[in-house]
Structure 1
Amino acid sequence: MRAGLAARHRAQLPAHRPRRCAGPVTAAARDPTGRQRRQTAEQLPPASALGRTADSRRLATTSGSTAREAQLPPPAPAHQQDQQTSEPGAAASPFAGLQQRWAELPGRYKLVFATSMSFVICNMDKVNISVAIIPMAQDFGWSPTVAGLVQSSFFYGYLLSQIPGGYASSLLGGRTVLPAGVALWSAATAGVPLLAGTLPGLFLSRAAVGLGEGVAPSAATDVVARVIPTDQRSRAISFIFGGLHVGSLLGLLIAPLCIARFGWPSVFYLFGGFGLLWCAWWEKLVGDVAAAEPELAAALTGAIVPQGQQGEGGRQQGGTPRLGGAPAAAEGDAALVGHGGHGGVIDARAPVPWRAFLRNPALGALAYTHYCNNWFHYTMLAWMPTYFTDSLALDLGRAAQVSLLPPIAAIVASAIAGPSADALIARGVPVETVRKAAQCIAFLGPAACLFAACFIEGGSLSVVLVTLSLGLASFSLAGLYSNHADLSPRYASVLLGMTNTSGALPGIVGVATTGWLFDQTGSWGLSLFAPSIFFFLTGSAAYVIWGSATRQEFDAADPGAANQPFGWETALRSLLPAGSAASGGDAEAGAAEGERQAEARGGKGSGSKAKDE
């Protein structure tokens, strides 16, 4: 029995040996699935049978595919396949959402955005000379006096084009005048390196830049008055004119980089090219808007204003523009027939009542307010880097970096001022109250900051105060800059041209006066801050007392009646020989002729004031 057990034990030993040695048995033993594969192979059919089975399966698959292909439509052409292939990628593009939003944006908002971009380029071309003047003076050996004359030559052209630009905008539409101005100043900017070798040529090129930029504010105001209703006007004006602060910021950032890498001529070529590209884009945009919204396109150049801007006759804000030739009675608005007054239609080509403008106290207050506002802006723009360099003991590079802070604050304030004013108007706050409150913030706030800065000798606190003053001053965008269309949607561009003419004077007078006062006193508080404080206080008083947001009588349809001659004109004409061409007849004849012209254009207006709620 023991022998049998031992024999069985020895018979089982080979099964345990693979654990101790490597050999043929080990390989087989380490393959526990080998027996399973052999068993599976024994159960499989012969290879010939497998081949026949595979062939039958392929035939079945082929016949099934053929049947399915017979049911499918024919393949698309190659170009359609490319489009289908590209669609998923296009949908995944990071700009797809922006393109979709832009396509869905109303045409009037697209025009406002494009107008703001022109203002960005406007100030880029205005500040580029302040950076490039340093290497230019070194190359040509200019003294500081000559360098100052080069910079001030811009304002001579800027001053001369204000009123003509406003009149042209009212006659032709800001849609036409704005790209003409951009093209002029961009070409003149690109020509600066070519004319810089001779001072007269350089003066003319910079004056041409001023001529082109001088028509931009009036043209933009005309566009807003034609296509934007009252309850959205503050926001639109703030967005458009806020582009000036963005342009200052970009100009001060890009110009030094271009000059350091490519030389000072490159900044003029680059910035001039930006403007020419904008002109091409503007024409395409207006064409697209005209195709999508014909009435809005007609409003840009025709005798038309949105109903929401026409006083009591058009209280619905944001109404559809109405063409000058469209019969109001056909729309159930028989009471709105005529021009101006309570009607929804104006004649943009009517004679301009210049005498009525000069008599108007609200417009006079607005012009003085504009002068006070620009005194602060132009003097600070010219002397701020020097002030930081002198008072903070900074080098020019650091002073330039610190000078970027006020434009940033102005951009932030611009984004707050316009929407806040529109929100108050939408809630029923009178337009005049909103305009005066915004202007008081823009004047009294900076006055307090500058008064405190007079007693601080440098330090970071002075930077904070100057930055805060320029930021608060941006509330003028919801005040004086929005007020022209309140007084007269019909002549908004002309009114801005008149007030901006007075606003251009500080560019010539204020900058030089500040330098003279600093030479006499050696104090930045007395030379730079004190004059601005004076103009802030007097400007606030004038605007609060005489300012208005009520549509004025000269906005009526009868410019002849509103354009009565002054007393001194009548007295002077009485001294001239009777019947002379210079006499022009008596005042009554002139007024009668104006009335006949108004009747020929479609009837007299009421001539009464209509309050814009």
Structure 2
Amino acid sequence: MVMSGLISNRNFGSFIASGNEYRSGKDSSLQRRGICGASVARYGDWISKDPLSRCPRGLYFQTNSPLEERVSKAMQSFHDEGPVLRQSSQFMNFKLKAGRKSHFYLSSAPYRSTDIVQREMFGLGLSKRKHTQSELGKVTNVHVHYKSEEDYDVAESPEGTGEAILLEGNLLQVSPWWQQFPKRWVIVLLCFAAFLLCNMDRVNMSIAILPMSQEFNWNSATVGLIQSSFFWGYLLTQILGGIWADKLGGKLVLGFGVVWWSIATVLTPIAAKLGLPYLLIMRAFMGVGEGVAMPAMNNMLSKWIPVSERSRSLALVYSGMYLGSVTGLALSPLLIQKFGWPSVFYAFGSLGSVWFALWFRKAYSSPKEDPDLGAEEKRLIFEGSISKEPVTVIPWKLILSKAPVWALIISHFCHNWGTFILLTWMPTYYNQVLKFNLTESGLLCVLPWLTMAVFANIGGWIADTLVSKGLSITTVRKIMQSIGFLGPAFFLTQLSHVRTPAMAVLCMACSQGSDAFSQSGLYSNHQDIGPRYAGVLLGLSNTAGVLAGVFGTAATGYILQRGSWNDVFKVSVVLYLVGTLVWNIFSTGERVLD
């Protein structure tokens, strides 16, 4: 329960320096690091009925600074003695500068805890109707003695009368911690879950295709055709998804996409048994749903996430894709062996309904639409941001005239050629070349994607840290994407020299791990150069990326009929090098579209 007010003539003060009585109705600035003493004036009768002694572990006053969003822990407890709270004192060890008034919380957490455990006051024995209100001006006879500890006077501030931070306002009710979780990160986590399902439903075919090809007598060319059919629909809705998201809002478009591809996933076994044409159509339908996911997500995050958190938020969302691959590749063999290959599609597809129920209740297309968004978070989101209004007209001529846009398009093509080949053909490579069985192939495919999930978030943290240190966004994006291109190129060239399956798996993992730095490179750049058109820009560049997936996946099947896996990897390496040159010459982190 937040104690952000005075009750009757009761006062709680926090201060530094030294002095005697002081009243303040304005914000106080604590500019010294050190020990901040706190003294609690003698409280009169709290409430004669329902004393606070029902709290099993005593009461603790703890404080945090909402501006810096950090917590200082209480070092001494403050216990009640029946209906009267005795005069006592405590010390908070401040490791930060509090630029604004601190809020104090009444808590039943032990003093060793560094977290504030909030309790509603009526949950501790006070009924809701007994909450009282008091204005600061009504406070009388307040006398507070305070003095900083000299040993902790690290800022060497002169002694003198300091400002006491007096608590003012009403006795407020605080929501549970899960309701105070930043709304922008709720959106990020829901997008993360959507992308988790996205790749679970996509990669299950990479495992299921092995028993399916035996059952239906498919050769390598047919398998490549089936794998690439997904991209027919995926290609169709890239630009359309971006336009819809920028005009209608990301919530509607992403929700539609998840429901659509989940239904298509569930219907895949039925289509396969009806015949190859029906399976190709169903896989294309699934691609239609997944095609809107990335543009819609990019649109939403461009509205919800400030630039200081951009790389981390996008890295977390895209790591959902990688963990989706991990989950799909790990669980698919187990489900196939126990229940048969159709079970994979039924199980994974049904999860979309659970996600949609949460999305429908919790998500909003923009911060302006969320009625429960707090003022502090809204200020943080909108501070220094571009207009969050929906786009009515897409300036196609202006967009296509910008060199950084074409750098995105070409680089996305080069990046996705290698990425999609590994995504769709890796289990086959493990099975046919490294001679792993079905279960081993699925489980070993997990390692590269798990590596990507880890390194995507590491790269996001590094990128945001470099930006906060003053490095230009352009430089950061070029560094991150160069790692994302040159790393995979190097490790794929090593595959032709390794002699053991273990080293081959390690090279694959290192290739994908370095590839994940792209999430802080080209995948973050759409919001840099044109945040108002982030959905359309991602739709454009990902269209090129999908074309790479269509041609690369299908071409791999034909290359394998006439050549070897080394030839497949050589093509990917050449495209990675081309992408590196284009990106470093033409890309920028500055806004070029308003």
Report whether the alignment pairs 1:272 with 2:333.
Answer: no
Higher helix share: 1
For the 8 Å contact 2:412–2:544, the answer to whether it is kept is: yes
Match of 1:463 in 2: 505
Match of 2:162 in 1: none
Alpha-carbon separation, structure 1, partners of 2:200 and 2:501: 29
For the 8 Å contact 2:224–2:553, the answer to whether it is kept is: no
Distance 1:515 1:149, change over 3 A: closer
Match of 2:577 in 1: 537
Report whether the alignment pairs 1:377 with 2:419.
Answer: yes
Report whether the alignment pairs 1:511 with 2:553.
Answer: yes
Report whether the alignment pairs 1:238 with 2:278.
Answer: no
Distance 1:492 1:344, change over 3 A: closer
Match of 2:515 in 1: 473
Of 380, 388, 400, 1:319 maps to 380
Alpha-carbon separation, structure 2, partners of 1:219 and 1:288: 9
Let me know the Cα RMSD of the aligned residues: 2.9
Match of 1:160 in 2: 236
Distance 1:137 1:274, change over 3 A: same
Alpha-carbon separation, structure 2, partners of 1:370 and 1:483: 11
Match of 1:148 in 2: 224
Distance 1:288 1:546, change over 3 A: closer
Report whether the alignment pairs 1:180 with 2:256.
Answer: yes
Give CA-to-partner distance per residue, 1:359-382, whole Å, 9 cap, x none.
Answer: 211110111110111011111122
Alpha-carbon separation, structure 1, partners of 2:212 and 2:562: 29
Question: What pairs with 1:70-85 in structure 2 (closer than 5 Å)?
Answer: none
Of 270, 277, 285, 1:200 maps to 277
SS at match of 2:531: coil
Match of 2:103 in 1: none
Alpha-carbon separation, structure 2, partners of 1:344 and 1:408: 35
Of 340, 345, 348, 1:263 maps to 340
Alpha-carbon separation, structure 1, partners of 2:262 and 2:318: 19
For the 8 Å contact 1:391–1:458, the answer to whether it is kept is: no
Of 431, 439, 458, 1:397 maps to 439
For the 8 Å contact 2:251–2:364, the answer to whether it is kept is: no
Alpha-carbon separation, structure 1, partners of 2:262 and 2:362: 19
Tell me which structure has the larger Cα radius of gyration.
1
Of 208, 220, 244, 1:132 maps to 208
Alpha-carbon separation, structure 2, partners of 1:343 and 1:250: 36
Give CA-to-partner distance per residue, 1:287-325, whole Å, 9 cap, x none.
Answer: 799899528599xxxxxxx99xxxxxxxxxx73439xxx
Match of 1:189 in 2: 265
Please tell me the residue identity of whatever aligns with 2:318. F
Alpha-carbon separation, structure 1, partners of 2:510 and 2:358: 36
Match of 2:429 in 1: 387
Match of 2:93 in 1: none
Report whether the alignment pairs 1:286 with 2:347.
Answer: no
Alpha-carbon separation, structure 2, partners of 1:285 and 1:470: 33
Alpha-carbon separation, structure 2, partners of 1:511 and 1:203: 15
Question: What pairs with 1:479-494 in structure 2 (closer than 5 Å)?
Answer: 479-494=521-536
For the 8 Å contact 2:213–2:219, the answer to whether it is kept is: yes
SS at match of 1:319: helix
SS at match of 2:391: coil
Report whether the alignment pairs 1:445 with 2:487.
Answer: yes
Please tell me the residue identity of whatever aligns with 1:269. Y
For the 8 Å contact 1:188–1:208, the answer to whether it is kept is: yes
For the 8 Å contact 1:385–1:399, the answer to whether it is kept is: yes
For the 8 Å contact 1:295–1:321, the answer to whether it is kept is: no
Match of 2:395 in 1: 353
Please tell me the residue identity of whatever aligns with 2:206. S
For the 8 Å contact 2:333–2:438, the answer to whether it is kept is: no
Higher strand share: 2
Question: What pairs with 1:103-142 in structure 2 (closer than 5 Å)?
Answer: 103-142=179-218
Q: With the length of structure 2 as denominator, give the TM-score of the two structures.
A: 0.67
Unaligned runs of 5+ in 2: 1-47, 51-108, 110-115, 119-174
Give CA-to-partner distance per residue, 1:68-124, whole Å, 9 cap, x none.
Answer: xxx999xxxxxxxxxxxxxxxxx9xxxx99995432211000010011000000000
Distance 1:104 1:343, change over 3 A: closer
Please tell me the residue identity of whatever aligns with 1:267. V
SS at match of 1:490: helix
Alpha-carbon separation, structure 2, partners of 1:409 and 1:347: 38
Give CA-to-partner distance per residue, 1:317-365, whole Å, 9 cap, x none.
Answer: x73439xxxxxxxxxxxxxxxxxxx984354233101112222111101
Alpha-carbon separation, structure 2, partners of 1:519 and 1:193: 27
Distance 1:225 1:189, change over 3 A: same
For the 8 Å contact 1:296–1:321, the answer to whether it is kept is: no
Distance 1:262 1:439, change over 3 A: same
Q: Name the count of aligned residue pairs.
A: 425
Alpha-carbon separation, structure 2, partners of 1:490 and 1:201: 39
Please tell me the residue identity of whatever aligns with 1:226. K
Select between 529-538 and 379-388 the one with higher mean Cα deviation: 379-388
For the 8 Å contact 1:238–1:414, the answer to whether it is kept is: yes
For the 8 Å contact 2:387–2:532, the answer to whether it is kept is: no
SS at match of 1:294: coil
Alpha-carbon separation, structure 2, partners of 1:288 and 1:209: 24
Distance 1:391 1:101, change over 3 A: farther
Instruction: Give, in angstroms, the shift of residue 411 of structure 1.
Output: 1.3
Question: What pairs with 1:535-574 in structure 2 (closer than 5 Å)?
Answer: 535-552=575-592, 554-555=593-594
Select between 404-413 and 489-498 the one with higher mean Cα deviation: 404-413
Q: What percent of counterpart residues are identical?
A: 39
Please tell me the residue identity of whatever aligns with 2:541. T
Match of 2:306 in 1: 229
Alpha-carbon separation, structure 1, partners of 2:490 and 2:228: 29
Give CA-to-partner distance per residue, 1:489-532, whole Å, 9 cap, x none.
Answer: 1000100000000000122111232333333333x22x222111
For the 8 Å contact 1:357–1:363, the answer to whether it is kept is: yes
Give CA-to-partner distance per residue, 1:215-235, whole Å, 9 cap, x none.
Answer: 000011011100101110000
For the 8 Å contact 2:488–2:510, the answer to whether it is kept is: yes
Instruction: Give, in angstroms, the shift of residue 401 of structure 1.
Output: 2.6
Question: What pairs with 1:54-69 in structure 2 (closer than 5 Å)?
Answer: none
Distance 1:159 1:320, change over 3 A: closer
Of 297, 313, 316, 1:220 maps to 297
Report whether the alignment pairs 1:422 with 2:464.
Answer: yes
Instruction: Give, in angstroms, the shift of residue 175 of structure 1.
Output: 1.5
Distance 1:191 1:430, change over 3 A: same
Distance 1:129 1:173, change over 3 A: same
Alpha-carbon separation, structure 2, partners of 1:201 and 1:433: 48
Instruction: Give, in angstroms, the shift of residue 448 of structure 1.
Output: 1.7
For the 8 Å contact 1:290–1:297, the answer to whether it is kept is: no
Instruction: Give, in angstroms, the shift of residue 148 of structure 1.
Output: 3.0
Alpha-carbon separation, structure 1, partners of 2:385 and 2:420: 40
Instruction: Give, in angstroms, the shift of residue 274 of structure 1.
Output: 0.5
